[in-house]
Amino acid sequence: MLLVAGSDDALRPFRATRATFVVDSLAECRERVVARGATVLEEPKRVPTGWNMRVRHPEGTVVEYVQHTM
C-alpha cells in the first residue's frame, strides 16, 4: 500500500494517478506501453527508491510505473 499525504498544492500532481506498479525494467515498460498507444506524461526520472514515470493509457487512465533499485 502506498500512502501519499500533503497539502492540496503538494498533492495536485498526484491526484490523477489511479495506480502505481513496480516493474523490473522501466525502459522495457516504457517501450511496451508506448507501442500500445500510451502517452508518457513524465519521462523516467530518478527518485529516492529508484526510477519512475507517469503514463496516460489510451482509455485515459494515468498510471505511475516504478523501478526500484538497491
* Digit-coded pLDDT (tens) for 47-67: 988 999 999 999 999 999 999
10 Å CB burial of residue 29 (0-12, 13-18, 19+) is buried
Dump pLDDT digits (tens) for 10-35: 888 788 889 999 999 999 999 999 99
Q: What is the mean pLDDT of residues 2-15?
A: 85
Q: Where are the domains positioned within the chain?
A: 15-68
The CATH topology of domain 15-68 is 2,3-Dihydroxybiphenyl 1,2-Dioxygenase; domain 1 (3.10.180)
Is residue 70 pLDDT above 90, yes or no?
no
Is residue 1 pLDDT above 90, yes or no?
no
The values of phi and psi at residue 16, to 5°, are -80, -15
